[in-house]
Amino acid sequence: MNDRFCACLFALMLMLPSAALPQGFAGLGTEAEGFALPDPDYRLRFPEDHGPHPAFRIEWWYVTANLTGPDGSDYGIQWTLFRSALKPGEAEGWASPQIWMGHAAATTTEAHYSAERLARGGIGQAGVTAQPFDAWIDDWRMRGQDFDTLRLRAASDDFAYDLSLQAQGPLVLHGRDGHSVKSADGQASHYYSQPAYAVTGTLSLPDGETQVTGTAWLDREWSSQPLSPDQTGWDWFSLGFEDGTRLMAFRLRGGRGDFTSGTWIEANGRATALPDGAIRLQPLERTGPPNRRIPTTWSLVLPERDLDLRIEAMNPDAWMETSFLYWEGPVRISGSHSGKGYLEMTGYGEDDEG
Amino acid sequence: MIGAACLALWSHWRRHKLQLATLLAGLALATGLWSAVQAINGEARASYDRAAAQLGAGQWPELRPRAGADIPLETYVSLRRTGWRLAPVLEGNLRLAGRSVTVMGVGLLTHPALPAVEAAEGGDGLAPVEVLTPPGRLFADPGLAARLEGNTDLPPVLPSDAVPPGTLLTDIAVAERLLDRPGTLSRLLILEPPPPGLPPLSELAPDLDRVAARGSGDIARLTDSFHLNLTAFGLLSFAVGMFIVHGTVGLSFEQRRGMIRSLRAMGLPLGLLARLMLAELALLALLGGGAGLILGYAVAGALLPDVASSLRGLYGAPVEGTLSLRPGWVLSGLGMALAGTGLASARALWRVAHLPLLAAPGMRAWGGSAAAMRAMVAAGVALILAGALATWLPGGLLGGFLLLGGVLTGAALLLPPLLSVILAMGARMARGPLAQWVWADMRAQLPGLSLALMALLLALAANIGVGTMVSSFRLTFTGWLDQRLASELYVAARDDAQGARMATWLGDRADAVLPSRSVERRHNGAPIFVYGIVDDPTYRDNWPLIAESPGVWDALARGEAVLINEQMARRDDLWPGDTVSVLPDWPLRVAGVYSDYGNPTAQAITALPALLERVPNLPNQRFGIRIAPDQVDDLARDLRADFDLPPGALVDQAALKAQSMAVFDKTFLVTGALNVLTLGVAAFAMLTSLLTLWTQRLPQVAPLWAMGLTRARLARLELLRSLALAALTALAALPLGLVLAWALLAVVNVEAFGWRLPMFLFPLDWLRLFALALLAAGLAALWPARRLSRLPPAGLLKVFSNER
């Protein structure tokens, strides 16, 4: 299967309207074609909602972690399992309309490694069960007796990690009870996180194996029509501050102006939704070659919490060389607060293969 | 000087236009047949490569099931989940639109890029949902796509030039449904070497074997023998054509001796003269070779559709019936023409270079000394022995062809000494001066004619050998068809449900209903079809067993034994008494081996109840029906009416036999065509040799005329001599041809196709060929004889004034 085919499939997962992609897909950004739609009155139920929702078009289990080695070096890792439904529902065997994609990455200040796995649903090569929790694609796996204690593994040609995750607080529901609005037109998703895992484990890189510790953030999101037609990409931040508070913030870039949203999370896990316009995000510096010029230094201001941050990519070259090109990497925070976090940016670079 | 020399050399061809035409024709024939064969082979190989590229065959190492089994889907999933990067493939055959179609199902998401799918995504913007979810899509070459149009049982078919003929490329989900093999896979491509630290494959999947990437794949290997066969024919034709070149070039040099002497006497350096003559030959070779290429292209174009259908029929090899021009082919054709001309003229050139300035034309133009004869005998015997040795030493198909080559060339070398001995004996028995002269003159003529006679010998032997093989095969095949197609009527149901209804329906009306139910598996890395049969006298009385153990049918009926086809028996060296597992964990005793012509794959037969225990969902759609011959038509009519059967679903025995014979005859059409062409070329070689000898003959004939023999009588004697030589050669060709036939039947066929055929003799064919040889020789001699009978006496008298 060629890259473009995959790109078609997963443009959607990354919430990108496929302006650069063939016509057949352009319409999918707005129409749900029999898929279930996020319901503002739906109340999330656990552990059921840790499992897949095949009636919705897209869904993901998204882990990022800021890690530190024994010598104080900073690392970042990503582990993502995407589900994309070609049609609503599930079927046995190869006839299943579900497609799974795994992305894994490891980032140092000097290097960035990424890998991808693809699988068809229905045959057992990839999937998720809610209780006991198990999410896997090929030999990559995240599982535990419940959602609070997880073991996370991925391996590729040039990197591997095997990490233990222990939740330090409650689940956080974004938006209104986990119904997170994505545009002024009302596009939305179901969205919750576990933002506070303590992590220990090993990270293997080409120059050897390192013991690491740190924190991880797990995002769960599913939807069917996530973006407005004019929205071309997004910038998404998950930030952890030294005082134990956390911030999730995103900006959807659109022709009719940006749409921002976020969640302020106190150290005890209490969450406050931040409406459109509460957060001001401003790129400060763009780096990279012409076809991959991307903001790697940001200003984030949240006046209601006296937040004025400078956010800098730990490694500006954290491009994910996967079926669909995007940027995902660890960041350092300075300014009114300091800390670490993760940044994802989509809709910037041009794929080398056009 | 150079200009004058060129003019002088050219003047010869201007005066001997026929000779020029003969030379060019010889070159064109030789190059033409050779390059026709090359074009056919090249086209077929290009088709295989194209098919391999289109399906990505052989580019990756693979995991294949060890013992005749499919790979369970669970094995694939568990290997992926341990870290193996694999792409699954499910393959099988399906009968669609009256012919067998290969279905290749791939996991479109993980499979390496396939040109057909890429093009569809690019051009029409084919969406993943269309390809990956039911009903899915089929990719087929435009021809197949057109034939499948309107078939409502199939997913939409997308025509694509990037799919090999006769193949349906599709997603594995569709393939699984079409082939009715849910949850199974045929092989797994290894996309990346497994990560280090994994348990060994023997632990993870003990039933899988790792197979290295192997380039263009099975088809090329499978068809090698077929192409080697064609190449051998091409080479034979080329050799025979080169005899013509040799004859005409020799003649032209003989005739130009005087001119050469004059040119050299006038001061033209020998080196320059030799270079000029070489350039002249090269020019002629290019001209003749060029004409040969045009001829070859036409011949190849005419033969290719039949070759393509032969290859499809024999091996399922995807060959298109159209020819395209390749630069490599043009160059190699011209190269062969140049090299062949050089070789054929080497002796003539050497003689020019060593011609004493004032030497008289030789009485015996071509050397034929006793020493040369002895050398030929030694070389001939050595070649035959080497050929015989080759059947053991390299063995295999190559050994078979070396045997053929050694025996043919060795025998050809032995021919002149043999004829010489016979002629000497004849001379001793001759009474009267004229008879003695005729015998002696024949002997004197022999060296000049020997090459032409060798060509005739080879052509005749090839004709006898190949003819015997084809006729033996045909006879065996006809007998085998009678045994194999014992049922009076064959019917195919639309699906299993209809099949079951049909079996019940037939139960009351037919003498016996013989279901044909089979499953395709893999055995030793190759496909095998396992059939289950019911115990019925039809099989016991008719089945063509070539080897069996006592009580074969009883053991088979009890489900304790298996019958295998000859191909499988020879390939895996399995014979009655051996044990084989045609399905995993089901060892069965081989009770018999049956002949199974025209089938490239392994086949096994076992008791249906026993097979159903292991493979419960065998398709049940094809039946043989035993019924009194006079009721066939009625039953067929009722069947059609009650089950609403399409025309192709019901075939009676006679029609099936006719179809099978048609396929058979088509397979050997090319062989027959090449046979006739070779014989034609040999006759032509004889004519040119006789013409060559013509001028040298005059001084020998003139004294006899002067002594009182009439020109007419001399001409008759000339004709008689040619016929006698041709007859002797044809007699010698008979045993040679039979040896050739034996080698083809017992060595080459076994290696190439996996079956050995009994040899039948066809004396009538030999008589016909003998007459044909005499006719060819007679026609070739007629012209020189006519010239002799009409030669003005002055011409004969001149011999005495000029030459003596």
Record: contact A9-B83, CB cut-off 8 A:
no
Could you tell me the two tokens for B578? 């051996």
Instruction: Please tell me the predicted confidence (pLDDT) of residue A338.
Output: 95
The amino acid present at B147, given as its one-letter code, is R
B138-142 CB contacts, 8 Å cutoff, 24+ apart: B138/B168, B138/B169, B138/B170, B138/B174, B139/B163, B139/B168, B139/B169, B139/B170, B140/B167, B140/B168, B140/B169, B141/B165, B141/B166, B141/B167
Say yes or no: B394 contacts chain A, CB-CB below 8 A. no
- N-to-C CA span, chain B: 32
Give the HSE-up count for residue B146: Cα atoms under 13 Å, Cβ half-sphere. 4
The two three-digit tokens of residue B60, written as one number: 């990756």
Q: What percent of chain A has pLDDT over 90?
A: 71
Across the interface, of B77, B117, B183, the residue whose CB is closest to A125 is B77
Q: How far apart are CA A316 and CA A111, in angstroms?
A: 10
Residue A150: per-residue pLDDT = 96
Angle at B736 between CA B444 and CA B419, to 5 degrees: 15
Residue A221 pLDDT: 94
Compute the C-alpha angle B677/B680/B683, nearest 5°.
155
Of A2, A97, A136, the CB nearest to B113: A2
Give residue for tokens 């996370």.
A152
Distance in angstroms (rounded) separating the CA atoms of residues A116 and A114: 7
More confident residue, B352 or B713: B713
Pairing of strands A172-173, A188-205: antiparallel
Mean pLDDT, chain A, integer? 87
Distance from CA of A124 to the nearest CA of B (A): 7
Average the pLDDT over B510-527 and give the result. 78
User: Residue B703 belongs to what H/E stretch?
Assistant: helix B669-706
Does residue A11 register a pLDDT over 50? no
Identify the pLDDT of residue A10.
Answer: 46
Q: What pLDDT does B702 receive? A: 81
Q: What backbone torsions phi and psi does residue B351 show, to the nearest 5 degrees? A: -65, -40
What average pLDDT does the segment A94-101 reach? 92
Query: Looking at the complex, does the CB of residue B81 fall below 8 Å from at least one CB of chain A?
Result: yes
**Torsion over CA: B793, B795, B798, B799 (sign):** negative
In tens, the pLDDT along A171-195 reads 999 999 999 988 877 788 999 999 9
Which residues of chain A have a CB within 8 Å of the CB of B128? 5, 8-9, 86, 99
Cβ neighbours of B778 (radius 10 Å): 17
> Closest residue of B to A90, CA-based?
B133
Are A332 and A322 in contact by the 8 Å Cβ rule? The answer is no
Residue partners of B638: CB distance under 8 A and separation at least 6: B509
Which residues lie across from A144 on neighbouring strands? Answer: A133
CB atoms within 10 A of CB B123: 10
| pLDDT top residue among A63 and A15 | A63
Half-sphere exposure of A231 (CA within 13 A, CB side): 28
Q: Which of A117-126, A201-210, B646-655 has the lowest mean pLDDT?
A: B646-655
Assess whether pLDDT exceeds 90 at residue A109: yes
Highest mean pLDDT among B123-127, B690-694, B768-772: B768-772
At residue B52, the pLDDT reads 66
| Strand A74-85 relative to strand A98-107, pairing | antiparallel
> Do A11 and A347 touch, CB atoms closer than 8 A?
no
Q: Which of B108, B127, B182 sits opposite A93 (nearest CB)?
A: B182
- Per-residue model confidence as pLDDT tens digits over A247-258: 999 998 887 888
- Enumerate domains of chain A plus CATH numbers: 53-345 (2.40.370.10)
Please answer yes or no on whether A1 and B109 come within 8 Å at the CB atom: yes
Q: Which of A125, A141, A324 to mutate to test the interface with B (most CBs of B within 10 A)?
A: A125
Report chain A residues whose CB lies below 8 A from the CB of B121: 2, 4-5, 8, 22
Taking an 8 Å cut-off on Cβ atoms, the answer to whether B111 and A119 are in contact is no
Q: Which residue has the higher pLDDT, B250 or A155?
A: A155
Contacts of B133 in chain A (CB under 8 A): 86-87, 95, 97
pLDDT band for B203, please (50, 70, 90 cuts).
confident
**Complex ipTM over 0.85:** yes
* B33 close to A (CB below 8 A): no
pLDDT given for residue B565 in this prediction: 86
| Chain A CB within 8 Å of residue B536 CB | no
Alpha carbons B743 and B388: distance in angstroms, whole number: 10
Q: What is the mean pLDDT of residues B535-550?
A: 85
Best of B76, B81, B111, B131 to disrupt the A interface (most A CBs within 10 Å) is B81
Instruction: Read off the pLDDT band of A103 (50, 70, 90).
Output: very high
Whether residues B110 and A1 touch (CB distance < 8 A) is answered with yes
Distance separating alpha carbons of residues A1 and B126, to the nearest angstrom:
13
Retrieve residue B432's tokens: 């009267």
Residue bearing the bigger pLDDT, A284 or B35: A284
Q: What is the pLDDT of residues B740-754, one digit of tens each?
A: 888 878 877 777 666
Average confidence (pLDDT) over A311-340: 93
pLDDT tens per residue across span B11-23? 888 887 877 887 8
Task: Provide the shortest C-alpha distance from residue A155 to chain B (in Å).
Answer: 8
Tens of pLDDT, residue by residue over B48-76, are 777 666 666 667 788 888 655 688 999 99
Question: A317 falls in which pLDDT band (50, 70, 90)?
Answer: very high
Please say if the pLDDT value at position A8 is more than 60. Answer: no
For residues B325-337, average pLDDT = 83
pLDDT at residue A139 greater than cutoff 90:
yes
| Pairing between β-strand B517-523 and β-strand B512-515 as defined by DSSP bridges | unpaired
Interface test with A, best of B109, B181, B189, B204 (most A CBs within 10 A): B109
Position with higher pLDDT, B218 vs A128: A128
- Contact flag B110-A119 (C-beta cutoff 8 Å): yes
pLDDT given for residue A79 in this prediction: 97
Classify residue B579 as exposed, middle or buried by CB count within 10 Å of its CB (0-12, 13-18, 19+). exposed
Confidence of residue B543 (pLDDT cuts 50, 70, 90): confident
pLDDT at A330 over 90: yes
Q: What is the mean pLDDT of residues A156-166?
A: 94
Q: Report pLDDT for A23.
A: 30
Give me the total of CB pairs closer than 8 Å, taking one residue from chain A and one from chain B. 83
Q: Is residue B262 over pLDDT 80?
A: yes
Picking from A1, A2, A87, the nearest residue to B129 by CB comes out as A87
DSSP at B319: -
CB contact under 8 A, B128 and A5: yes
Residue B127 in contact with partner chain A when CB distance is under 8 A = yes
* B82 chain-A contacts, CB cut-off 8 A: 139
| In chain B, residues 39-78 whose CB comes closer than 8 Å to chain A | 73-74, 76-77
Per DSSP, B688 falls in state: H
A8 to chain B: which residues are within 8 Å by CB?
A: 121, 127-128
B71 vs B87: CA distance, rounded Å: 13
pLDDT in tens, B574-633: 889 898 888 877 888 999 998 877 666 788 999 999 888 888 878 787 888 888 888 888
Question: Which B residues 188-227 touch A at CB under 8 Å?
Answer: 192, 195
Mean pLDDT, chain B, whole residue set: 80
For an interface test with A, the pick among B126, B129, B179, B204 (most A C-beta atoms closer than 10 Å) comes out as B129
Residue B648 binned pLDDT confidence (cut-offs 50, 70, 90): low
% of residues, chain B, pLDDT over 90: 7
The winner for highest mean pLDDT among A141-150, B12-21, B568-577 is A141-150
Query: What per-residue confidence (pLDDT) applies to B222?
Result: 53
pLDDT of B674 strictly over 80: no
pLDDT > 70 fraction of chain B, expressed in percent and rounded: 84
Average pLDDT of A13-30?
36
Q: Cis (ω within 30 of 0) for the bond into A132?
A: yes
Asked which of A26-30, B272-276, B300-304, B633-637 is least confident by mean pLDDT, the reply is A26-30
Least confident of B181-185, B538-542, B645-649: B645-649
* Subunit contact B109:A86, Cβ cutoff 8 A: no
Residue A354's contacts (CB-CB under 8 Å, 6 or more residues apart) are: none
Q: Which of B625, B629, B635 is nearest to B512 (CA)?
A: B625
Asked if pLDDT for residue A218 goes beyond 60, the answer is yes
pLDDT at residue B480 above 80?
A: no
pLDDT greater at residue B485 or residue A31: B485
> pLDDT at position B529, please?
83
The predicted pLDDT at position B427 comes to 84
Q: What is the pLDDT of residue A210?
A: 95
